[in-house]
Amino acid sequence: MTTLVNPTVTENLRTVPPQAGPSGRVPLSSPDINDEDRARVLQVLDGPSLSLGPMLPAFEKEAAEVAGTRFAIAVNSGTSGLHLCVKGAGIGLGDEVITTPFSFVASANCLLFEQAIPKFVDIDINTYNLNPALIRDAVNGNTRGILPVHVFGRPCDMNRILPLAERFGLHVIEDACEAIGAKIGNRRAGGFGHSGVFAFYPNKQITTGEGGVILTDDEELARLCRSWRNQGRGDGGGWLQHERLGYNYRLSDINCALGIGQLIRINKVMEMRKQVASRYNELLADFDELILPAPAAEGTEVSWFVYVVRLREEFSRIDRDQILHDLRADGIGCNNYFSPIHLQPFYKEKFGFRVGDFPVTEHVAERTIALPFFNHLSQNQMEIVASSLARAIGKIKSGSVSMSIASVAR
C-alpha cells in the first residue's frame, strides 16, 4: 500500500478535518510587508512627488545591485519590461525568437507586441526550463534572439545558452521575472543576457504591488528604455516634448518605496523561502504519487517563487483538476502552473499550434500542482496542506471522482 505522508506525521495529517467551502485558510501566496516598508510608502504620501520622485532612482539602484548590472530601469510590470527589451534589441516584423511554451503568457506576448514570432522549443522534464539541446535545431535565417525563462525561480542553463547565442549572433533577453536573486556561480539571474527583467506582482518573492525592472549593462539601451517608459520624452526635454514613440510604463514612487526595503533584504527573503521549500520536501517525501521539485543543479541557487509538485505518469489532467478542486474545497490555495502557451486559444488560432507539438511541456502541464508558498508559511499550515492533498489523492485512487469534475470531462 502506498504511503501518502511521512509516517511520523501521518496520524496528525490524516486527522485534520476538511473545511468545506473556499475559506482561504491557507492562501496560495501572501506578500511579506513590514513596518519599514509601510513607513517608506507613507513618506511618499506625505511628500510632494508621487511619481518620478526620489524613490525611483533609489529603487533602481537596489535592483541593479541585486542583479549585478550597471543599470536598472523601473517599469509598471514585468510584461512592459520584456516588451521594451524586445524593442531595444531591434527585434521586429517576422523575426523569430527562441523561447519556451512552458511559462506565463507574457514571455511570448512581448514578442507579438513588436510583430515578432515566438519559436517555441520544448522543455527539460526535470527543470521545466528551456532545453538547451533543442536550441541549435531551432535556429534559422529568421532567428534574432533567445528568450530563456527561469521558470519557478530555477536558473536556466545559461552556460549552454550563451555560447549558442554568441555562435549565431543572437540577442539574449533574460526573463528573470520569477527568479530575483537566483544564482549560477557568482552571477545572478537577470545579469546574464543583453537585457533581463524582474517582476514584482504580489505573488513574487518581493512585491511593489505592480511593477517590474529592466536590467542591462548597455547604457544606450538604458537611455532608450527610460524614454520609452515615459511617453518617449528625452532626458533634457520638456514635459510636452517627445523624441520618439513611447508608452506610459512608469512605476510610481509609491510602488518603488514599497519595494526598496524588500530588495535590501532579498537574501533573507530567499533563505526563508528556501526553508519553506525544504520543509515541504520533508513533509511530502513519502508521497509516492508525486514528483517533487528537482534539487538545484551544482553551482546554482534557486530563488523559490512557487512550490510545484507533479503527479506521476499514471495520473491524468482530469485527476489533477479533481485534486485542485478538492484542495480548494478544503480552503487550500492552489493552481496549475503553467498552461502551455502554444495551446492558449489565441496562439492556436494565430499560429496553428496543436496538441502534441511540444509533448514534454504538455505532459508536465497536465500534472502540475502549485501548493501554498510564501515566506511565513507555518509548519501547521503545511501539514494542513499535506493532509488535504493526501485525502484528495486517496479519493482519486479509490475511484471516488467528483461529479462536477467528471461531468466537465465528458
Confidence label for 18 from pLDDT (cuts 50, 70 and 90): very low
Query: Which H helix or E strand runs over 205?
Result: none
* Closest-CA residue to 16 (of 27, 26, 29): 26
> How are beta strands 143-147 and 96-99 bridged, if at all?
parallel
More confident residue, 121 or 25: 121
Q: Where are the domains of the chain?
A: 7-29+266-334+372-409, 35-264
The count of other CB atoms within 10 Å of the CB of residue 363 is: 15
Q: How far is Cα 298 from Cα 309, in angstroms, rounded to an integer?
A: 21
Confidence label for 236 from pLDDT (cuts 50, 70 and 90): confident
Taking residues 124-134, what's their average pLDDT? Answer: 98
Taking residues 300-318, what's their average pLDDT? Answer: 98
The count of other CB atoms within 10 Å of the CB of residue 290 is: 18
- CATH 3.30.70 for the 7-29+266-334+372-409 domain, yes or no: no
Q: How far is Cα 229 from Cα 81, in angstroms, rounded to an integer?
A: 9
* Closest-CA residue to 305 (of 128, 124, 174, 182): 182
Q: Which of 10-19, 109-118, 350-359 has the lowest mean pLDDT?
A: 10-19
Query: According to the model, what pLDDT value does residue 181 have?
Result: 98
Spelled out in words, what is the top-level CATH class assigned to the domain 35-264? alpha beta
The model's pLDDT over 237-276, given as tens digits with 9 standing for 90+, comes to 789 999 999 999 999 999 999 999 999 999 999 999 999 9
The model's pLDDT over 166-221, given as tens digits with 9 standing for 90+, comes to 999 999 999 999 999 999 999 999 999 999 999 999 999 999 999 999 999 999 99
CA distances from 37 to 32, 258, 262 (A): 10, 5, 8
Q: Per DSSP, what are the bridge partners of residue 118?
A: 97
The model's pLDDT over 62-109, given as tens digits with 9 standing for 90+, comes to 999 999 999 999 999 999 999 999 999 999 999 999 999 999 999 999
Give the burial string for 377-402 (b: 16+ CB within 10 Å, else e).
Answer: beeebbbbbbbbbbbbbebbeeeebb
